[in-house]
Amino acid sequence: MSVLNITAQQWAMPRESSFDWPLLLIAFGLVSFGVIMVASASLDFALQVYGDPWFFVKRHLVFLMLALVAGFLVYSLPVELWNRWSILLLLVGVGLLIAVLIPGVGKTVNGARRWFAFGPISVQASEVAKFCFVIFFASFLARRTGEFQTRWSAFFKLIGILGIFVVLLLLEPDFGSAVVLCITAGAMMFMAGVPIIRFILLTLTGVVGLGMLAVISPYRWQRLVTFLDPWAEQFSSGYQLVQSLIAFGRGEWAGLGLGNSLQKLFFLPEAHTDFIFAIIAEEFGLLGAVGLVAAFSALVWRIF
């Protein structure tokens, strides 16, 4: 049956009983808390920079609505179609990672060419590519489990595909996404039943390879050293980490209260994005931070 001949029954939403309501409740709670914390962490910064205290909140809500629509569409598609489209998605992922490296096509920010610019909206190529990669990997492991578990050829085929994605990511450069992709692929192989010898070999190769990449690159090595001892460079490369640690310390056990963070008042850079967890720890304390980690743990447990 061709893709165009999908029946109405295939597109229909599953019965109500198929919903996992605890999972949806946890996800809805995390999404709602995220909106509140984006507001708390960004109001003063947005007012100073854009003249609108709700600038980042409104942008966050727009992307959240787009994500919900995309999630609904993904949920509505039968698994059979994802299997059928997996190779096409793999090619799309590789194509995006190549296209973003082309001058004039990819957008360069802070020396890294990682984004496609569509007017005021920027899309990171690696995020779409990682989704395509995971779909292909899952499809391959599901369809050819026996071959993957018994033949080295299938194992090395997957490693080769992973290597192509990693090399393209490192050319951007996007070391963080390369690490995430390797860990994700390794976890998927482990869940699929890869023989322990191959898994150990894969893990050692990945650790050694990524470690060498970090050591031979002065920029990555400096980031690693700064991460291990940010106080040694507290007014230069370690400034952001030091300010985030101060936020954690100020939060103590129960926090300063919602909206009462001081670090978000232009002390901690990127307080509403990469370092928002530091603001959560400052406003809700150790108990709030542990509670948030517990909520994400419950989400992952429920998914399994």
Q: Tell me which residue of 300, 297, 279, 302 sits closest to 42, measured CA to CA.
A: 279
The Cα-based distances of 3 to 11, 75, 113, 247, 273 in angstroms read 12, 16, 35, 52, 39
The string of pLDDT tens digits covering residues 31-64 is 999 999 999 999 989 998 888 899 999 999 999 9
For residue 233, what are the contacts with CB-CB under 8 A and spacing of at least 6? 226, 239
pLDDT value of position 227? 79
Cα–Cα distance measured from residue 186 to residue 162, given in angstroms and rounded to the nearest whole number: 10
Tokens for 25?
């409740």
User: What is the DSSP track for 114-173?
Assistant: EEEEETTEEEEHHHHHHHHHHHHHHHHHHHTHHHHHH-HHHHHHHHHHHHHHHHHHHHTT
What the block records as the tokens of 73 is: 């569409």
Q: What's the pLDDT at 7? A: 41
Confidence at residue 110, expressed as pLDDT on a 0 to 100 scale: 66
How far is the C-alpha of 96 from the C-alpha of 168, rounded, in Å?
Answer: 10
User: Residue 119, by phi and psi: left (phi above 0), alpha (psi -120 to 50) or beta?
Assistant: left
Query: 172-208: per-residue pLDDT in tens?
Result: 878 888 888 988 988 888 888 878 887 788 778 877 8
pLDDT at 111: 66
Phi, psi of 269 (to 5 degrees): -65, 150
Q: Which residues of the chain have pLDDT under 50?
A: 1-16
Contact 249, 281 (CB under 8 A): no
